[in-house]
């Protein structure tokens, strides 16, 4: 079996699996976790989602173009399409399994899963970093048991990194949206005709 690379790779970047906690100015906590093993990234994110309730809010972001390095007006951010919906934990796990190349290996995707009661959420970012916005110790314990050492490291995205674009990624992205019945969200500043909203 050929081991698939993680979403993001950078020459010389190979720390052992790690996670650390960050606090913002209001005291909210987020855990930040990374491993160079795509299999361990997937297992950790699936386990994090498993700790969440039966029904979850889902936001899927898909990069739609690459940045033009010659465009002086470009603010270095890539545009994203956003899709949202509500799914059962089981349906989400099934969709992630069926569309694993897109969710776990394609740098054009970013998945956010939120607990609608507590508003705690987890993100599997486009570079393979996992973020958990929660102070619940169960998430910290889960990462420790999964072999992530608690220590601060530079994140892969702090410098240039290479993304992965598996050929089956776009088709699996469409399938993921279909399986979970996700709806396209308007971009900031855009709106949809009322007929599409209601």
pLDDT tens per residue, range 128-165: 999 999 999 999 999 999 999 999 999 888 887 888 88
What is the residue-averaged pLDDT of the chain? 87
Count of alpha carbons within 13 Å of 70, Cβ hemisphere only? 0
The residues near 188 (Cβ < 8 Å, ≥ 6 apart) are none
Q: What is the mean pLDDT of residues 14-24?
A: 93
pLDDT tens per residue, range 160-178: 788 888 889 999 999 999 9
C-alpha pair distances (Å), 140 with each of 16, 31, 98, 146: 17, 8, 27, 10
Contact 58, 112 (CB under 8 A): yes
End-to-end alpha carbon distance in the chain: 48
Is 80 exceeded by the pLDDT of residue 190? Answer: no
pLDDT tens per residue, range 71-88: 555 555 558 899 999 999
The domain ranges of the chain are 16-65+79-154+164-186
């Amino acid at each position: 079996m050929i081991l698939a690379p993680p979403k993001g790779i950078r020459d010389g970047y190979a720390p052992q699996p790690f996670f650390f906690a960050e606090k913002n100015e209001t005291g909210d906590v987020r855990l930040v976790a990374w491993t160079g093993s795509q299999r361990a990234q997937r297992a950790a994110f699936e386990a994090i989602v498993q700790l969440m309730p039966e029904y979850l809010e889902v936001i899927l972001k898909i990069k739609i173009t690459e940045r033009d390095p010659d465009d002086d007006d470009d603010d270095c951010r890539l545009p994203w399409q956003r899709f949202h919906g509500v799914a059962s934990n089981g349906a989400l796990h099934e969709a992630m399994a069926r569309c694993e190349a897109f969710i776990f290996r394609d740098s054009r995707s970013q998945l956010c899963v939120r607990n609608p009661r507590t508003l705690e959420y987890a993100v599997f970012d486009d570079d393979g970093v996992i973020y958990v916005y929660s102070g619940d110790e169960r998430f910290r314990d889960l990462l420790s048991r999964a072999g992530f050492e608690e220590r601060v490291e530079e994140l892969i995205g702090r410098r240039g990194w290479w993304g992965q674009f598996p050929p089956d990624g776009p088709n699996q992205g469409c399938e993921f949206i279909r399986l979970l019945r996700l709806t396209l969200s308007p971009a900031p500043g855009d709106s949809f005709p009322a007929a599409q909203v209601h």
